[in-house]
Structure 1
Amino acid sequence: MTTEPLSDVLGRTAEAVASRIGGLVDDLQAIEAQLAAAVAKMGHVPRRAELSFLKPLFEDLLVRNGGLIDGAGIAYEPGTLADVEYWLDWWRIQATGHPKFIRHDLNPSSLRYYDYSARDWFRIPRTAGHPVAIGPYIDMGGINVNTVTLTAPARTVHGTHVLGCDVSLSALETIFIKAVRTLDPTVILVGPNARIIASNSPLLVVGTLADLTKAVVNQPLLPAKYEQLPWNLVVANH
């Protein structure tokens, strides 16, 4: 067991993870501000092509945060674009390091219809009115992997859209492990759904439910600015 004070371990780990997640929140909110300003200047309901300036912003977000996020984009509030009822602009980073547009089936008559408007990552930030982190969860209709989606509402004069990015759980785990620096005691990063985001134990699988009845410490991870996410650092009893 480490001789370092547990408070130091948890503080260091909280700061390491929170700074990276906080940076992503800031990036999403910067894009939100540009979108709101652009739509306000148009004076009419925009068409998809008029919002093409968002593409390089999301591509830059992906490249700058290469390894930390797998995908990013915007989901539009249904009925707020002039030329289409539903639209989802989403890009994923490829092995080459370049972003690629990911097309989703938005046809309600299709068997593979992806109804993003019913997904938690779309509904919850719009209702809450602030950034949230959804997951870990399996996005069966999207990328079909275990992921955490960080999302932020984007209010415009014509509706509230949702900006988001898919956080790489392996990258987040690396940040977590480097900060914890010990295998004893067992430290777990859990989301609001009590599912494991990262841990320093090979016996605890990411995405599974944590047994919080064994917790001896349950400390909020993020500072007040991001308390709405919310994630906790849990120290498990042996």
Structure 2
Amino acid sequence: MPTTLDAAVRECVDAIDRTFGGVFARIDAWRTLIEAYVDQHDGAPTVDSIDRLVESITVPELSVDGALVIGAGFVATPGFLPDAEWHLAWWLGHSNTFGVGSADPAIRRLLAEENPESESFRDYTTLEWWRVPTTTGARHVTGPYVDYLCTDDYTLTLTMPAYHGDRLIGVVGADLYVNDVERALLAHLRGLEAATVVNASGRVVVSTDPHRPTGSLLRTSGERIPCATVGVALVLG
């Protein structure tokens, strides 16, 4: 017979996989639609057409009350789009307060600088959420980190690469506030005496231990239980 601890651990792992796996399932569905659209346009869609597609598939998710996803979209490989060297087709949800000041946030397009000659331009291909999945070809969880590009708050960015044939055309992804992930998982983690969710680099996502703050590196010999979601694990002790 399984012990109570075994059952509590399984419940935690299941909750982690439901939380992250559900978001990755949405990203994978968006990726499939984007890849199919690019195939239909002989691998050369325009900026406007990509923007319309990404808006149509991500905004319904961002419009759901209480949605975990607070931003989502497609970031193109430099040179992929014939009419833009660099491009982010990214939308922010109404729970994302980035750049709105005291105003009530609404669903809106992220206005990112795409001119490499501008002082505010940032080469996104150097960032982890781009660099790792485009190197490994697999889904990736970046963070927690303070995202100065899209949220200005502790954020997790989930991404996976998209292709046209063998050609990398960009990444598809979603942003989550760490606070929202904590609310989704802490009730399950509290069933264990000491439990911490970490990313692939051992950085703390959420923990029941107040001495393990979000974003810190966990250095422990505690038992690590991999979750089905790539790059996320539950550490006990």
TM-score class, shorter-chain normalisation, is 0.7 to 0.9
- Tell me the CA shift for residue 97 of structure 1: 7.3
| Aligned counterpart in structure 2 of residue 204 of structure 1, from 203, 209, 212 | 212
- Tell me the CA shift for residue 159 of structure 1: 3.7
In the other structure, the counterpart of 2:180 is: 171
In the other structure, the counterpart of 1:155 is: 163
In the other structure, the counterpart of 2:107 is: 99
- Paired amino acid for 2:62: L
Please, which moves more after superposition, 143-152 or 191-200?
Answer: 143-152
Provide the C-alpha distance between the structure 2 equivalents of 1:141 and 1:194, rounded to a whole number of angstroms: 23
CA contact (8 A) 1:72 1:91 kept: yes
Q: 1:49 to 1:130 in 2, by over 3 A?
A: same
- Tell me the CA shift for residue 196 of structure 1: 0.8
Please, which moves more after superposition, 200-209 or 164-173?
Answer: 200-209
Provide the C-alpha distance between the structure 2 equivalents of 1:97 and 1:145, rounded to a whole number of angstroms: 15
In the other structure, the counterpart of 1:118 is: 126
- Paired amino acid for 2:93: I
Provide the C-alpha distance between the structure 2 equivalents of 1:88 and 1:113, rounded to a whole number of angstroms: 12
CA contact (8 A) 1:67 1:168 kept: no
In the other structure, the counterpart of 1:109 is: 117
| Aligned counterpart in structure 2 of residue 193 of structure 1, from 201, 205, 211 | 201
Provide the C-alpha distance between the structure 2 equivalents of 1:55 and 1:92, rounded to a whole number of angstroms: 10
Matched, 1:11 2:10: yes
Once the two structures are superposed, residues 24-76 of structure 1 have per-residue CA deviations (whole angstroms, 9 ceiling, x without a partner) of 11111111111111111123621111221221211112234744122111100
CA contact (8 A) 1:16 1:176 kept: yes
In the other structure, the counterpart of 2:99 is: none
Unpaired segments ≥5 residues, structure 2: 96-103
Provide the C-alpha distance between the structure 1 equivalents of 2:190 and 2:213, rounded to a whole number of angstroms: 19
Q: 1:207 to 1:44 in 2, by over 3 A?
A: closer
Q: 1:65 to 1:17 in 2, by over 3 A?
A: farther
Superposed, which structure 2 residues align to 1:1-238 within 5 Å? 5-43=4-42, 45-51=44-50, 52-64=52-64, 66-95=66-95, 98-157=106-165, 159-182=168-191, 185-213=193-221, 215=222, 217-220=223-226, 222-223=227-228, 226=229, 229-236=230-237
Once the two structures are superposed, residues 123-158 of structure 1 have per-residue CA deviations (whole angstroms, 9 ceiling, x without a partner) of 211121121111222334443322111001111256
- Tell me the CA shift for residue 205 of structure 1: 1.3
Provide the C-alpha distance between the structure 2 equivalents of 1:42 and 1:74, rounded to a whole number of angstroms: 17
Provide the C-alpha distance between the structure 2 equivalents of 1:141 and 1:91, rounded to a whole number of angstroms: 12
- Tell me the CA shift for residue 118 of structure 1: 1.3
Q: 1:97 to 1:61 in 2, by over 3 A?
A: farther
| RMSD, matched Cα | 2.0
CA contact (8 A) 1:92 1:101 kept: yes
Q: How many residues align?
A: 225
